[in-house]
Structure 1
């Protein structure tokens, strides 16, 4: 009883500290600028995320399978974005690399206005996805270098601001979808492009964070020649196993952005205008609960435990989707809303587990390269996830959702045990520190 009470007190203190950091984020001025840039970036991304599936379906005229192929191709290109960004960040400053990613996406998103053929859309979507994944990896590196050991606090604030932007963007998209004309969709695309331009301008005002790739200080003192002396994540089978097992732990993204909208449109009687509500519910809940969840999962072993909870929550979401095909519009809408809540709860578990473990299991002198490889798990999921949902799960109907939920639950338990075994070899007893020495296989 005493131990439980003490833990609860620590959680309340952690939450209070996190709430204070909303006003004074780790990293000072540069962190505040980056958070504002993230708000603008994610507002535009929220506009596109809430409208892209319907845009490609009703404006471009793609069927579900072609749409899955298009999004999957973008995900394949995105796989290269994360390790490429990590490799470059070991050699060049993060700040200009991130500005370049924003400008790349600005150009490709504008091309969507004139591309209607699938052959033209494929490279445009691919480059956009590559820039998006590279930007996210660079933003993660910025967070680790600016916030240091307070990275969990920064990440919680970062995700809260990001999801606030998504919620705002989804609200803007709802207005455009209510109009439903091609001009309205084009304006939504231009809004997304504008967000990248403003984000690039803000990043330009920041200073390069410490910890770049040229010279780094190892834990024992002295210096090492950055990337030249850093170990390679591709020769670390233990870390690669973590990355591989982390892929299905990101399926909540495809379920929210692809599975829920298409299931609503093709298998339920819920109104199409209800689609943006999924993203609104998701982002609002993340803004409200991300700080509290992060305060309870601040150590690597706690993050490993969050993985099993992810699987159970995703199973509950899939079960709701499998049983919501009957009934009237109101019943279907309520069920789909419940599924959105459950997939958001799973996302909260994933955010603390994937982030903390990716950083903690990476050696300090090669963190940029390691995090670049870790970012591939999300990229692979963005490639395979839409294809899995549109080509297998939705084709199989309700049974497909049940099989998917059960499979992810089993994999999440396996990931938990694998990570705990690895953490036992790289962390001191009861510790939750940075991994600075050699990382075993």
Structure 2
């Protein structure tokens, strides 16, 4: 009797455990890093912001060549190496006490993180059939959120203690989490490098339709800094809602993704459903921005809290729809022999959103107020509707390139067969003359 595998059996289970291990460390890092760098390392907030901006700018550029490295030399080994590098970068934060060493360590951390994301996507593509990738990515996203929640709770303990030892323990735990991630990735089956011919150039940068898709996805990712920066500033500066609501909204978002991301992604199975999911996410985000804007009107805290809770529910719906659609597009529009390279470009949207998003959201929401919400919602809505034509154009180009490659293969095969026929005829003629 054939036994049905569970969704996380075999390599899928190891991928989920690797995701869980490093997300726990990341969750603790996210909630403690700002205070660690200022209180323990001794940097000013301006220096911390400048150093991290430089680091993530470099990391966003490094993602594409490191993804290409995974394609050419094997994604498992590359993923393991980058996970170990990330662990070493986090461990180095334990010893830096000046600005320049901090910037160097942060650059190493951001570069390794960006490359690791691309290499792991290439590894997943080599281990999981295309039809199952979006579903697995949804499960991994739920696992990621669970790990972040656990890590954030552990980081909260360190924040409550407020001691140097507590902060150092958190960073040591983060370094250990990436070490565990590397060990788990090493246990995965080896994925052979994909033959890419003699052309070693980065083709994704000249694939204009795919670049347009990646740029539009970056605009849609402007929702990411909302929860961590935009809403906290909006709540404290523009509404009468209590400050503790920031934490409650974060918990709401995390729990909803854990519970419903897999179900939301279930209906995304191809280009058409992915485009529809992205378009719906843009429409929901437009309404979300309008609801958040309402929270600033009136003097009643209850009105503000109600509007913020409603907007947060809509925000997580938009997030899950966009995630499911973008996963399908990012993989489905990339050539099979350059998954890591293309995911390296697609993943830079996250880095750009985290780097430039805070500046944009601060200007739009805190400085401009309600009109800023309208601009943000309109921008995301326009990008979501532009994604359909851009994705279809990219798909047509990919189909044309695949067809040309198949035709070239057929011609080469015919020429080889013809050469064999000539040689065979010559051999038969020679044999006849001998006879």
- TM-score, normalising length: structure 2: 0.80
Q: SS of the counterpart of 1:206? A: coil
CA RMSD across the alignment: 3.2
Instruction: Tell me if structure 2 keeps the 8 A contact 1:178–1:273.
Output: no
Show the counterpart of 2:21.
40
Show the counterpart of 1:380.
352
Structure 2: tracts of 5 or more residues without a match: 406-435
- Structure 2 counterpart of 1:246, from 194, 198, 217: 217
Q: SS of the counterpart of 1:99? A: helix
CA distance in 1, matches of 2:241, 2:44: 21
Instruction: Tell me if structure 2 keeps the 8 A contact 1:72–1:387.
Output: no
1:81-230 alignment to 2 at 5 Å? 81-115=62-96, 118-149=99-130, 150-210=132-192, 212-213=193-194, 215=195, 225-226=196-197, 228=199
Residues matched between the structures, number: 399
Shift of 1:145: 0.9
1:208-287 alignment to 2 at 5 Å? 208-210=190-192, 212-213=193-194, 215=195, 225-226=196-197, 228=199, 232-268=203-239, 274-287=245-258
Show the counterpart of 1:418.
390
Structure 1: tracts of 5 or more residues without a match: 1-19, 216-224, 429-434
Shift of 1:113: 3.9
Shift of 1:190: 2.9
Assess, with a 3 A threshold, how the Cα gap between structure 1 residues 93 and 276 changes in structure 2: closer, same or farther: farther
Residues 160-214 of structure 1: CA deviation (Å, up to 9, x unaligned):
222221222223333334445554444333332221121112222222124x23x
Assess, with a 3 A threshold, how the Cα gap between structure 1 residues 378 and 37 changes in structure 2: closer, same or farther: same
Assess, with a 3 A threshold, how the Cα gap between structure 1 residues 31 and 47 changes in structure 2: closer, same or farther: same
Q: SS of the counterpart of 2:190? A: coil
Shift of 1:308: 1.8
CA distance in 2, matches of 1:395, 1:254: 16
Assess, with a 3 A threshold, how the Cα gap between structure 1 residues 170 and 277 changes in structure 2: closer, same or farther: farther
Instruction: Tell me if structure 2 keeps the 8 A contact 1:105–1:193.
Output: yes
Assess, with a 3 A threshold, how the Cα gap between structure 1 residues 368 and 310 changes in structure 2: closer, same or farther: same
CA distance in 1, matches of 2:311, 2:161: 26
Assess, with a 3 A threshold, how the Cα gap between structure 1 residues 317 and 62 changes in structure 2: closer, same or farther: farther
Instruction: Tell me if structure 1 keeps the 8 A contact 2:25–2:173.
Output: yes
Shift of 1:338: 4.2
Shift of 1:267: 4.7
Structure (1/2) with the larger helix percentage = 2
Residues 357-396 of structure 1: CA deviation (Å, up to 9, x unaligned):
1211112233332222222222322322223223554333
CA distance in 1, matches of 2:39, 2:290: 29
CA distance in 2, matches of 1:55, 1:334: 34
- Structure 1 counterpart of 2:315, from 313, 321, 343: 343
Shift of 1:229: 8.1
Show the counterpart of 1:3.
none
1:384-403 alignment to 2 at 5 Å? 384-403=356-375
Assess, with a 3 A threshold, how the Cα gap between structure 1 residues 401 and 97 changes in structure 2: closer, same or farther: same
Instruction: Tell me if structure 2 keeps the 8 A contact 1:50–1:279.
Output: no
CA distance in 1, matches of 2:62, 2:372: 31
Q: SS of the counterpart of 2:169? A: helix
Show the counterpart of 1:12.
none
Shift of 1:53: 5.0
1:251-330 alignment to 2 at 5 Å? 251-268=222-239, 274-325=245-296, 327=299
Show the counterpart of 1:357.
329
Q: SS of the counterpart of 2:119? A: helix
CA distance in 2, matches of 1:329, 1:109: 41
CA distance in 2, matches of 1:386, 1:196: 27
